[in-house]
Structure 1
Amino acid sequence: MERVGDARELVLGYVDALNAVDEAMRAAIPSLERLADVLGLVHSRRISRSGQAGTYSYTVHGAGCLFVCGNGTEVDVDFAADGSEVFDLWRLRRYGLSLPEPLDVTDEDLRTAVGSLQPLLTEVGPGWFQHRH
């Protein structure tokens, strides 16, 4: 059961890290009302596709963005059509493996952990999840 506990800690850590990214990006780019607005700013060429915001570097890709913290921790997130932040098990695993003390958990354990965290997290599509603010 300890593995599921690790997976649960990983998921909660990802959500905390995503909230920290959101705060740092909005502090660095005052016109950002929500994290998803970074896509519009890149598409309108008001900010570059990759750059630095506080202690984070960011790289916009497709429908999302990869944020890398100063310690190397990676928070990769996609944005749904309504601008909400969505993520899948692959992004959660990538976050876990990038931690200063890497945490490698199985998709099965992550799925169990995500299920145990409802209604904090909602499955918005097969294998895709959203955090309720």
Structure 2
Amino acid sequence: MEQVGAARELVLGYVHALNAIDEAMRAAIPSLERLADVLGLVRSRRIISRNGYVGTYSYKVHGAGCRFVSYDGTEVDVDFAADGSEVFDLWRLRLYGLSLPEPVDVTDEDLWTAVRSLQPLLTEVRPGWFSVAN
């Protein structure tokens, strides 16, 4: 049960970190209405480059998402759904946990249990992919 508690804290930490990144990015780039808009700003090549620094984060846009790394090395990788919502899977949650200053390594089974316990805060938007509910 202790591992499920650690997994639950990891998931909540990821959501908190994602919210902090969203705030920092929107404060630094006023034209950003939501985090997913970073894809359009990169693709237009006029506003921001594919990778760089914003505030205390480095970022690298990839495919349908972006990886953010904070000054302490914590990684938050997120994809964006067609509607612009932020989506993540168990792999991204594990990556986040392992990148923490004091790494947290939990099993996929414990992460599944944690994610399910956090509904309705989290919604499974497609098999194995989750989003924070509006």
**TM-score range, shorter-chain basis?**
over 0.9
Large movers: runs of 4+ above 6 Å: none
- Are positions 1:33 and 2:33 aligned together? yes
Q: Secondary structure at the match of 2:49?
A: coil
Tell me, in whole angstroms, the C-alpha distance in 1 between the residues paired with 2:117 and 2:41: 36
Give the partner amino acid of 2:8: R
Which 5+ residue runs of structure 1 have no aligned equivalent?
none
Per the alignment, residue 108 of structure 1 pairs with: 109
Q: Cα distance, 1:19 vs. partner?
A: 0.1
Per the alignment, residue 90 of structure 1 pairs with: 91
TM-score (norm 1): 0.99
Per the alignment, residue 6 of structure 1 pairs with: 6
Q: Cα distance, 1:132 vs. partner?
A: 1.7
Per the alignment, residue 73 of structure 1 pairs with: 74
Tell me, in whole angstroms, the C-alpha distance in 2 between the residues paired with 1:33 and 1:123: 24
TM-score (norm 2): 0.98
Which 5+ residue runs of structure 2 have no aligned equivalent?
none
Give the partner amino acid of 1:40: G
Taking only aligned residues, the RMSD between alpha carbons, in angstroms, comes to 0.5
Residue by residue over 1:40-88, the C-alpha shift from the partner in whole angstroms, topping out at 9 and shown as x without a partner, is 0000002100011100000000000000000000000000000000000
Q: Secondary structure at the match of 1:108?
A: helix
Per the alignment, residue 50 of structure 2 pairs with: 49
